Structure 1
Amino acid sequence: MKLVSWNVNGLRACVNKGFNDYFKDMDADIFCVQETKLQEGQICLDYGEEYTQYWNYAQKKGYSGTAVFSRSKPMSVYYGIEENSEAEGRMVTLEFEHFYLVNVYTPNARRDLSRLELRLEWEERFRGYVTKLDAQKPVIICGDLNVAHQEIDLKNWKSNVGNSGFTHEERGKMTELLGAGFVDSFRHFYPERNDAFTWWSFMPKVRERNIGWRIDYFLVSARLVPALTDARIDAQTMGSDHCPIILELDESKLALIDTES
């Protein structure tokens, strides 16, 4: 089973830069996107009957938004956290037979940290939400979590300590989330890999020089680890300031894990 996650930073713009070709080449079972930045009716992606589409639009035009394209129809779909709605369109949850899939675009604290308090409150609610799901069946979380967890996860960590995305508070919330029973799939396979990033500033030559941050993740319930076969970063794919990330699982083992849970 192959899952792909990509913060496209404006899906209409990304489509003009090769999104559809990449989508088809990946041949994913589930493809998640964040920062769609559009409203219902502003785009038509025709993948035939092979994929069912689930969209969560932000109320504010041209802002945020998430979507999931899935070959298998889920048992249920939820939008947002507790209230099954989210004004900024930041989350879609699909329930399948053996796991929950949570596609999320975590709020940014902003450069001046003016939304840090909101961000931390949101993190508390999000951790409570996914741990409740995890009590029922395994969970796969994917998306732009807007935090570089460890020093290894960004190029110039010393000069970024305390900056948005690398504050002690945000990193601490990621530590708490992992401590609640989740595993960073990329670090599971590549615990010491340097220069593995998923986001780069649009400033000149930053991406060319690989001065980036790893802020996009696939986190999985710890009991799913035996089913993981690969987690990788597709850093060569252009079209956004983020690149796609990919998770692969052995579906036969996935079914066994759910049975044993």
Structure 2
Amino acid sequence: MKLGIFAKTFPGSTPETVLQAARSAGFGAVQYNMACSGLAAMPDAIERDTALAVARAAQEARLEIVAVSGTYNMIHPDRSVREAGLRRLETLASRAADMGTRLVTLCTGTRDPDDQWREHPGNHRPDAWRDLLEAMEAAIAIAVRHDVDLGIEPELANVVDGAVTARRLIDELGSARLRIVLDPANLFERADLAEQRRLVSEATDLLADRLAMGHAKDRSPDGGFTRAGRGVLDYPHYLACLKAAGFQGPLVAHGLGAEDAGEVAAFLGAALDRAGIPVEL
């Protein structure tokens, strides 16, 4: 398993700067963000030379670009905002191969007009699901055109709010392009150990055939987010579930500052070792 981190954890606006920092902190992979190339996270245009510079910097740093972030609010209440996001997704997907990756991560979205990570009661209405299906069908067509996969992440605040709704989306769309990014800290806010383990086991059981990436952050006792190893998440159980599911993809840390990256790499490396999962450098 490759141990990775969000590239934008590190300051800098060139891929050489951020990718060397990721390697120095002990990681062998990154989930890239175009902000690390001095652009908007979802730019209107990406020059081919800009994308190739990412691949070149990754090779020099001995890192793998395991995904590029393509998150926008797929069910934003304003259709024009959704359409703009879709156009930018095509821009990103068209350059993914040049950057050295075939996975683009998405946000299934919320009806909140201001924050794509904030829950909204409208997320659970039938019209929100219909809009998500429409947006995902268009995104899948883009993925087919550019030979990439799309990674969605079950997230309490989004319309795909857990493993059951993620499985429903997979089954209704019927596309092999749709993959799962699993972050167990996004499956609960506050839960006792038994419920936490149930949720993580359910997610890996239901989604094992579509897992493309694991994420690694944590939950503090009050329900907030914190960095991996500093909260209540049962990492031995999470990693055991990934192992039982036959998952061999990357485990990518986020939700931390650059100053904590080395400590998080050490924590995750030790946890993987205890789980009997070899780390590919």
TM-score range, shorter chain: 0.3 to 0.5
What's the TM-score once normalised by structure 2's chain length?
A: 0.38
**Structure with higher helix content:** 2
